[in-house]
Amino acid sequence: MKLISKISIHPLFYIVLFITFITGYLKVFLGYTLIIIVHELGHIFASIILKWKIDKVIIYPFGGMTKFNQRINSSLLEEFLILIYGPLFQILFYKIYPLPYHEFILLFNLLPIYPLDGSKLLYILLNNIVSFYKSFIIIFIISIITILYMLFQNISLINILICVYLLYEVYLYIKNLKNIMLKFYYERYKYPFKYKKNHIIKSLNLTKMYKNRNNYFILRKNIINEYEIFKKRFDK
């Protein structure tokens, strides 16, 4: 019951539902929605196993999104496991009960557009090779380019609605980046994380910090760990 209370239907879903009803595609849309729900159940199942707290589950006309009340500095491996269980559940469901558009939904959701699963996969990959901040900027740029490409490839009402909404989500994503970075820094101070790899930063540029590494700053030939940097900032 607690999980059900966290499920919400996005207003855009009802608009597309009405469009498909008057155009005779309601049955297709309902089947499409069933696949989306199964996909999200995969994410939910993995999050329960890993004991992640679910904040909200939103159902869109083009997919779903499960939001978690979790630390930004969560394990990238756990993030990957939760991510991959969505497609796995969807593929398993298709083997049991094949529905049309299964492959389309699977591929669409893997597009590198925030907040689709493809952007989350890209986020996990990027955080292994670039800084946390840079991963956000790269995802923002790729999201915009991919959405614009989608928009010009198919000028239809539903596609325009989806693209406009995705552009709005990407806008909120980059608008909130400052708050995300502040939370990222504060977590590193409050919960001193320990990782196997280290990263050296030859300045006090915090945006060069990696998510899954111990970050050390070289200042005037002295090596200072990230906790000492943040202790001075947050203890004020």
Using one digit for the tens of pLDDT, what is the confidence trace for 51-78?
Answer: 999 999 988 887 888 889 889 999 999 9
Do 99 and 138 belong together in one domain?
Answer: no
Domain membership of residue 180 (yes or no) is no
Do 156 and 206 belong together in one domain?
Answer: no
Do 14 and 102 belong together in one domain?
Answer: yes
Do 13 and 42 belong together in one domain?
Answer: yes
The better pLDDT of the pair 155, 186 is held by: 186
Domain membership of residue 182 (yes or no) is no
- How many independent structural domains does the chain possess? 3
The better pLDDT of the pair 61, 168 is held by: 168
Would you place residue 41 in the very low, low, confident or very high pLDDT band (cuts 50, 70, 90)?
very high
What angle in degrees, to the nearest 10, is found between the helix axes of 177-190 and 132-153? 150
**Mean pLDDT, residues 28-42:** 90
**Mean pLDDT, residues 199-223:** 92
Last residue of a domain, one of 150, 175, 200: 175
* pLDDT at residue 171 greater than cutoff 60: yes
Its pTM stands at: 0.88
Q: Is the peptide bond before 115 cis (omega within 30 degrees of 0)?
A: yes
Domain membership of residue 181 (yes or no) is no
Do 103 and 2 belong together in one domain?
Answer: yes
Sign of torsion over alpha carbons 128, 84, 48, 31:
positive
Q: What is the mean pLDDT of the chain?
A: 90
Q: What is the pLDDT of residues 101-117, one digit of tens each?
A: 888 888 999 999 998 99
Do 201 and 144 belong together in one domain?
Answer: no
**Mean pLDDT, residues 22-48:** 90
CA-to-CA separations, 212 to 110, 154, 157, 182, 183, in angstroms, rounded = 23, 39, 42, 17, 15
Residue 16: the pLDDT is 84
* pLDDT at residue 1 greater than cutoff 70: no
Range of the domain at 59: 1-109
Do 92 and 169 belong together in one domain?
Answer: no
Do 168 and 192 belong together in one domain?
Answer: no
Do 218 and 126 belong together in one domain?
Answer: no
Domain membership of residue 70 (yes or no) is yes
